[in-house]
Structure formats: C-alpha cells, structure tokens
Structure 1
Amino acid sequence: MANFSKSQVPRFSVEVYQNEYLPEGGREVNAIVTVTSTGGGTTGGVPLRGVSASPAGIPAPAPGAAVVIMVDCSGSMDYPPTKMRNARDATAAAIDTLRDGVEFAVVAGTHQAVEVYPGGGRLAIADRHTRGDAKSALRRLSAGGGTAIGTWLGLADRLLAASAGDIRHGILLTDGRNEHESPEALRSALAAVAGRFTCDARGVGTDWEVKEVTGIASALLGTADIVADPAQLAADFTAMMENAMGKEVADVALRLWTPVGVEIRFVKQVAPSVTELTGRRTEAGPRAGDYPTGSWGDESRDYHVCVRVPEASIGQEMLAARASLIVPAPDGGAPEVLSQGLIRAIWTDDMAASTSINPQVAHYTGQAELAQVIQQGLDARKLGDYDGATAKLGRAVQLAQVSGNEDTAKLLSKVVDVVDAATGTVRLKAKVAEADEMTLETRSTRTVRVKK
C-alpha cells in the first residue's frame, strides 16, 4: 500500500458570498457557498478518504476505488455495425485508464444485465493481467435484445456493494430509449441506488432520450453528455475514467444548520453545472440536514443556498445558516467536519446596502435561469409552439451573452439565428440537425464560473 505525505491529503475550504443586509421586513437571504478541494495526490496511488490521519501524522489510505462500466448491447447498437466496435474500443480505452489496484467490472446491458467480466458476481482488481483479460472479454460484446437500464444499474449496485472502496463509480453508455421497462421502474431503480454510487451517463448517436440520460446522471451525481459520433467514444470514455480516477474523497455532504424559525427554501449546485439538491435532504439532527455532493478530487463547486428568516427590527442581526462540509467517519461515528462557513442576516435602513445584489448571487441566478429557459424553449419547439420557443431561446441567448457563457452561446447559434444578442432577438432556424438540438439540451445545465 502506498505511503502519502500530509501534503497529499485533500484540504477543503468553504467561502460564502452574499449580501447580508436586508431592508425592514426583508426575509429572504441568498448566498453562494463555494467549496474547494485542493492538495490531494492520487497519481499512481490509492484514493484517500481525505482528512483521516494516523497517530504518526501519515494519512490513512482508503481501501480504494471500484468502477463498473455498463455498455448498451441492445439490437440498435448494430446500426451502423461500427457503433458496437466503437463501444468495445471505448470500453478498452477506459480499462487501460484504470489504476493498478482499482476494482472493476464490465456489464453488458440489454433488457437484462449480464456481467461480461470478471463474472461470478464479483469485481476484478486492475493490473496488467486483468486489464488484458477484460479487453479480451470485450470480444463477447454483441448487439441484440432490448433496453432496460434499471436492471443495469441494479447489477452495478450489487457489484459495487461488494467493494471495500470508498470511491464507487459507474459509467453508463446507451444509444436508445429505455423501452423495455416502465419509467416508474427506472425511477424506482434510481431511487434504490442513489447515494450508493455516482454515475456518468453518455448517449451515443441521436436515437436516445435526453431527459432519461440526464436524469440518470443527475440522480447519481454524475455527468451527462452526448457523443454524436461513435468514433469519439474512446476519447470520451478515457476522459471520464481519468476523472473518476482523480476522485479522492467519497460521500461528502453539505450540512446546513439553521436556527429556530429559519426555513430553507432551496439548495442547488450552480457550478460547474446546475443540479437541484433541495429534495435530497436527509435529516441530521435538530435543525440540520445533509445534501449529497458525491465524490471529490482537486476541484471547486458552487452552491446556491436560499433561506427565509423571521422578521426582525432595524439593527438586529442573526446567523441565518451554518454551512458545513462533512464526510462520514470510517468507524461509523460522528462525521468529520472538513470546513464550514456562515450565512448571516443584518437588517438595515440603508437602502443602498439592502438593495445591492451580490455579484455571485446575481450571476448564478442568471445561469440557473439560462438552463431553465433552454429546456422550456426546446420543449416548446418540439410541441410546435414556435412563438414560445423563440421567446425562451431569445432570453437564453441574452443570458448567455451577459454571463459570458460562450459555449452555450455557440450551441444556441446552431438552433436560432441571432439578430441581437443584447436584446435576445432571435429567429428559429428552419432546419436544425438533431445532434445539435440534443447537444444543446444535454449541455444546457453547464455553467461558467463567476468572474471574481
């Protein structure tokens, strides 16, 4: 087992950006909580739990990581025939990216789930030999059958449950709609495995359902994307696996404690993408709740917290919420607090102070609206409501320009002709490539960081 110096332990920091001043009668407090993890080191080693250290000051290495790759092998993967070959090549590339010591398995997904490697309901441990054996086993991947993604996730969960690793991750590839199980069955499967592992989901080609793939990734705190050209799968799978291998701390939660009388209106991740967390709260003692954030490597994320406070008089101030980043204790005891920040409320009769909008809050409020109006605009376009689509997508163009979200602006320009970005004046394009529309929808929740 590798030895690590203290400098390799990831360090977490929490910064709070807000305007704490409220006018008389003001009750809503908005804050952006920026969480940053830095200083970890996993290259060639074993992921660390994060902040645990031995009495000698040497951080205790975690048992490791486990990854299950789920590959769509339904009949549609044979059209064109190169698609299945590209999927095999991409899976082989991902296997090559596994670090020694990482547990892994490959699952073939159709209307049922079958473990292709190593088999027997177990995980293999990555080394030169098992990587070679796994790549040989990929030759058994062939197209045929239907699509029931819930069964794939269920098998991945059973395999990952056998791992002692802290980092539990799935990679899921599909090229079609989930037609061989009901939407309720998929929702039930997602609810059963949520919090047990994270999962990145990819749709290849253009015959899959965007909301299904993004819903899987959102529920399992992973990423979603389109790979319109199957030839690009290998590069995408390699990048996904590299990202998974960079995770060092698992099961991190954002804990919000609030005083009596304070109500949490919503909690959402707003960078690097918009993810709603409000409904995922689990109670954590009196007036405290935990919101899952998944696994972390060296990275930074932003969260928008909105709370409603009791009315108070001019001059009064209060702690509106305490935001703490926590990780479960290895022995099942009290969780470890990695870092924390405070959200405050101060009532003032200074109009300039109380009406000022914090730049971070304003930026991410616009980014969340940008994601929403893109979805609304594309839905309206599909329903033939072209006036509604024009209005929503025009607003999206305007918001993308204001926030400097150039990537989203480029994607929008493939769906609408921009007449005036500043005013949001656009015309719907008469013909739009299906891949361009699906790319915009899939990536609509990606945000840009505020310029601080």
Structure 2
Amino acid sequence: MSDLPEFTIKVDQNHFLPAGGREMHAVVTVEATGAASGLPGPPAAEAAEIIIIDTSGSMSYSGKMAAAKRAAKAAINVLRDGVHFAVVAGANQPRMVYPAGERLVRVSDRTRHDAQNAVTRLDAAGGTAIGTWLRMADRLFAEHRDTIRHAILLTDGKNQHESDVELDAALARCAGTFVCDARGVGTDWEVAELRKIASALLGTFLDVPDPQDLERDFLEMTRTSMGKEVADVVLRLWTPQGATVRFVKQMTPTVEDLTGRRVPSGKQTADYPLGAWGTEDREYHLCVEVEPGDVGRQMRAAWAKLVVPGGGPVPVEQVLASGNVLAEWTDDEAKSTRINGRVAIHTGQSELADAIQEGLEARRTGDEETATARLGRAVVLANRVGNEQIAGLLDRVVDVVDVESGTVRLKKDVDKADEMRLDTRSVRTVRTRQGGERQQDGG
C-alpha cells in the first residue's frame, strides 16, 4: 500500500444507550495524509480529465463565453504532463473541441498548446442538453476505467432541450464511472438541477455569478483533481445481525446523503461510494439501529472500513483504515442523555441545509408562511452551529428580528444572485472544534 495515501479513521460518539435504547449515532472522520512521515510521496496517479463547456447561444452574453475560454485554457495549463484529457463543447448535442474524434490524448507541451488554440475558436450557438454531454464524457472515459476520472462541467442555463427523464437516465448511466464538479455561471441556471448532477456524480457544485471569477474557480478544481491519488474508495459498514443502517451522510466538506447508494458487499456488510481521494479529510454521520441489550452489555454497533476494491490499479482489495462504533446500555441517565458535541453539530448542519432549501422553495412558490418559518429556523441553526457565512447570506434574504427565536421577516426585494448563493452554499458546512470527545479505533 506504499503507493496510496495514509488513511486514518476517528470515531466520535456517546456510546451509552438507555435501557431499551436502539439508535446509535456517530461521526466518522476520515483523513488521508499522503505518504507516511519521512517517506517520499507516492508517484502521481494515472488520471483522466474532461472539461465540458456550455456553448449554447446564451453564453454569448455578459462576457460569459470569453470568460469560459480563459478558464478552460487556464485549467489545461495546470494539467500534469501525461494525464489523458479532452475538451467538449455542449449544446443541443456535444461535440469534441479537442482532440479530433471521440478519444482522450495525453497532456504534453504540444497537446496543451493545440487544445488551448482549439478553445480560442469556440463560439456560442444552440441549446442545452446536459445529459448528452455527460454521456459523451462517459464514452470518453470508457478506455480509462483504471485511472482517476474527473470532469468539469460549466453551464449558464436550464437543461431545456431534453426531458428530466433523459437527464436522470444519463446520470444513472454515469454514476460511479467518473466524478463531476459542476458550475453555474450567471443567474439563469437551476440550482436544483446542478445539485442533482453533482450529487449523482459525487462532485461539488457552486454558483459563479460573475464570469470574471471562472478562471480562478477552474484553476482550483483542476489543481484539486490533479492532487487525487486513489480512485473509487468506498466506506464499508459491517453491522450485527438484526441491525439496520438508518442513514449515512457525508457532512464535510458538503452535506450529501449517501444512504440510497448502499451496495451490499457481504452477508452483513454494505459499501457506500466516496469517490477519489487526495490529501484531505471528510466527515460522515452514521445512524445505526440495533437490537436493545441488557444494562451493562457492550457491543460493536458498526465496524467502519475504508476500502479500495480490487481491480484496476489496485489488483487486490485493500483496507485502508477501520474504526468501531460501540454501544453500551446503562441505567445511568447522565451517561445516556449526554449528546456528543460533534454529532450535535452535524445534526444541526444537516437540518440547516434542509431548512434553507425548503424555505427558498416555499418563497419561490409564494408560500410566505412556510418560507418565513423555515428560513427563521435556518437563522437559529446557523447561529447554533457557528456558520457565519450562511448567517450572512440569510441576512440578504430575511430581516432578522430575533436570532434566538428565529423571528424573521421576508425581504421584499432580493437579488437573484444572493438567493442562488444561499441555496447553493446551504450544503457547504463549516468545520468546528466545539464539544465532543474523540475516540480512535484501529487504523
């Protein structure tokens, strides 16, 4: 495993349950630190990168096309030599910008130069059918399944030229075959649409209201992608007989419910896909329902393992790290009612994301009562979990009368970019050191 990052798992929980208690919560922190201390870093992993640029007619306005070209050329410039890559133009149907023909080529001084020249010649015309763009990316990645596969997708509008069914089918086809970071430029695209795309493809999504910010954002995405060292990592959960995994949620850096992605991998195990990893850390909130035990009984409620399945660049399955979620029944009320600080924070951040999205949707549909109640609740939660960025964005949508009670008034005139930014960033969480003991099990 010398060519993979060094992974550790830490588990935060209150492992005590009251007599008859069934539900155990835990926060699992996974950290990848690259090579072990004092050793040279792993060799650069084989990677494949596709840049998909919306070239529909609306991109010709507000300097979006020119900014997209600059951003794409900057991204190409920081691709590592030897990485396979392509640039795709998206409209009613996708087309290859570089190279000619449906294939990827390796990055070199020559191909980098030729690709940037091809990007310079892009123009804007046609409509938007994002599912077809993703299907082309999937075809291009088909010969590179053993590499770290990443796509950047930029759009400025709604997916108007194909049905929701067609987009959903494309996402189902592409899920698990590559990671895609999606960006919306301007204010005419659909937040829910990009959220769905990024969620299905285990990527991020963000708003870029000002086209001038695209270059910086593309550079950040590409550099992050070039820093990935291992693809297709899964979180494998073992649970005892009679137990049920209620949910598995990624909580940092973004809130993402992974529960529905469960893939059985053994008699009492299931895998949850986590995508590609570099030097980084992420946190996951688990909830497991177990059969209640007698007071004083101790048990393992779940065994979390980080696994690279066998095949491709890792021929034999490798367990990178593991950690225990424990349970012990007690009649000591002080022990069983204590809420672990990190579990409490993540519960609040998950509820915060839901409250914002539900409140903004109610506002869009004219349901002011629900909008006021949900956005007021979001104000309370943002203050409670210490998410100052979200609190500031909420101030642009509501007038806060009282933070503690969540008493707010909806603003009459809200800038669309501010509303989209709040919606988009509702799932981006903050890291906090508040409360909670931290326990580490086998690594």
Alignment check: 8 A CA contact 1:257 1:323 kept = yes
Alignment check: 8 A CA contact 1:174 1:208 kept = yes
Percent identity between matched residues is 56
Once the two structures are superposed, residues 278-315 of structure 1 have per-residue CA deviations (whole angstroms, 9 ceiling, x without a partner) of 00011101110000110111111000110110122111
| Residue 374 (structure 2) aligns with | 392
Alignment check: 8 A CA contact 1:40 1:297 kept = no
Q: Decide which moves more: 384-393 or 371-380.
A: 384-393
Alignment pair present for 1:17 and 2:17: no
63 and 391 in structure 1: CA distance in 2 versus 1, 3 angstrom threshold: closer
173 and 136 in structure 1: CA distance in 2 versus 1, 3 angstrom threshold: same
279 and 361 in structure 1: CA distance in 2 versus 1, 3 angstrom threshold: same
Provide the alpha-carbon RMSD of the alignment.
1.8
Once the two structures are superposed, residues 72-123 of structure 1 have per-residue CA deviations (whole angstroms, 9 ceiling, x without a partner) of 011111123x211111111111111111111110000001010110121111
| Residue 127 (structure 2) aligns with | 146
| Residue 28 (structure 2) aligns with | 33
Alignment check: 8 A CA contact 1:314 1:349 kept = yes
Alignment pair present for 1:110 and 2:91: yes
3-state SS, counterpart of residue 162 of structure 1 = helix
Taking the TM superposition and a 5 Å limit, the aligned residue runs for 1:8-407 are 9-40=4-35, 61=43, 64-80=46-62, 82-163=63-144, 165-330=146-311, 334-407=316-389
| Residue 44 (structure 1) aligns with | none
Alignment check: 8 A CA contact 2:45 2:230 kept = no
Q: Decide which moves more: 156-165 or 58-67.
A: 58-67
334 and 64 in structure 1: CA distance in 2 versus 1, 3 angstrom threshold: closer
Give, in whole Å, the separation in 1 of the partners of 2:96 and 2:403.
50
Alignment check: 8 A CA contact 1:9 1:59 kept = no
Which of residues 424, 434, 440 is equivalent to 1:442? 424
Alignment check: 8 A CA contact 1:272 1:301 kept = yes
**What TM-score, normalized by structure 1, do the two folds share?**
0.92
Give, in whole Å, the separation in 2 of the partners of 1:350 and 1:92.
63
Alignment check: 8 A CA contact 1:64 1:164 kept = no
Which of residues 429, 435, 446 is equivalent to 2:411? 429
Kindly state the Cα deviation for residue 334 of structure 1 after the two structures are TM-superposed.
Answer: 4.9
Alignment check: 8 A CA contact 2:4 2:230 kept = no
3-state SS, counterpart of residue 144 of structure 2 = coil
Give, in whole Å, the separation in 2 of the partners of 1:161 and 1:58.
32
Kindly state the Cα deviation for residue 9 of structure 1 after the two structures are TM-superposed.
Answer: 4.5
Alignment check: 8 A CA contact 1:40 1:248 kept = no
Alignment check: 8 A CA contact 2:9 2:322 kept = yes
Once the two structures are superposed, residues 6-62 of structure 1 have per-residue CA deviations (whole angstroms, 9 ceiling, x without a partner) of 5x8411000111111111110000010000000349xxxxxxxxxxxxxxx999857
Give, in whole Å, the separation in 1 of the partners of 2:142 and 2:201.
15
Kindly state the Cα deviation for residue 430 of structure 1 after the two structures are TM-superposed.
Answer: 1.1
Alignment pair present for 1:420 and 2:402: yes
Q: Which amino acid aligns with 2:410?
A: L
Kindly state the Cα deviation for residue 450 of structure 1 after the two structures are TM-superposed.
Answer: 2.8
Alignment check: 8 A CA contact 1:62 1:166 kept = no
Once the two structures are superposed, residues 393-418 of structure 1 have per-residue CA deviations (whole angstroms, 9 ceiling, x without a partner) of 11111111111111111111111112
| Residue 52 (structure 1) aligns with | none
Q: Decide which moves more: 338-347 or 115-124.
A: 115-124
Q: Which amino acid aligns with 2:371?
A: A
| Residue 54 (structure 1) aligns with | none
Alignment check: 8 A CA contact 1:100 1:125 kept = yes
40 and 170 in structure 1: CA distance in 2 versus 1, 3 angstrom threshold: farther
Give, in whole Å, the separation in 2 of the partners of 1:340 and 1:393.
39
Give, in whole Å, the separation in 2 of the partners of 1:428 and 1:29.
38
Alignment check: 8 A CA contact 2:182 2:204 kept = yes
Give, in whole Å, the separation in 1 of the partners of 2:59 and 2:170.
23
Give, in whole Å, the separation in 2 of the partners of 1:37 and 1:372.
29
